[in-house]
Amino acid sequence: MIQFNSDNLESLEIEVQERAEEIGIATVKAICKGLELGVDVINVGFMKNLNMDITCERDGFLEALSLNLKRCEDAEEYELCSDARKWIKILINEKK
């Protein structure tokens, strides 16, 4: 889980841009683990200054995996990419 240091939503946007690769990898890891465990909501991060959880619900898993796959590829996280692709295929088939 990612800990964010921002104390408002505007500074969170900046922090997310600056830490995009780290957050993308953590998001993909959390979603893949959540799908393995069969959960419907995963906790991606925590804003300690606002005592706020940042979560992703199952209906957003496919989009989040698809958006962050490139970041995992750029970071050469090939095993994680493989897991993400597997889950993307499964989630697409579930929608059919």
pLDDT range class, residue 83, cuts 50, 70, 90:
very high
pLDDT digit string (tens) for 37-75? Answer: 999 999 999 999 889 999 999 999 999 999 999 999 999
Give the Cα separation of 35 and 62 in Å (integer): 11
Give the Cα separation of 64 and 62 in Å (integer): 6
Domain ranges of the chain: 2-95
Give the Cα separation of 12 and 24 in Å (integer): 15
pLDDT digit string (tens) for 8-38? Answer: 889 989 999 999 999 999 999 999 999 999 9
Inform me whether the pLDDT recorded for 81 exceeds 90: yes
Sheet holding 41-47, edge to edge: 2-4, 41-47, 52-57
Q: How many CA atoms lie within 13 A of 58 on its CB side?
A: 12
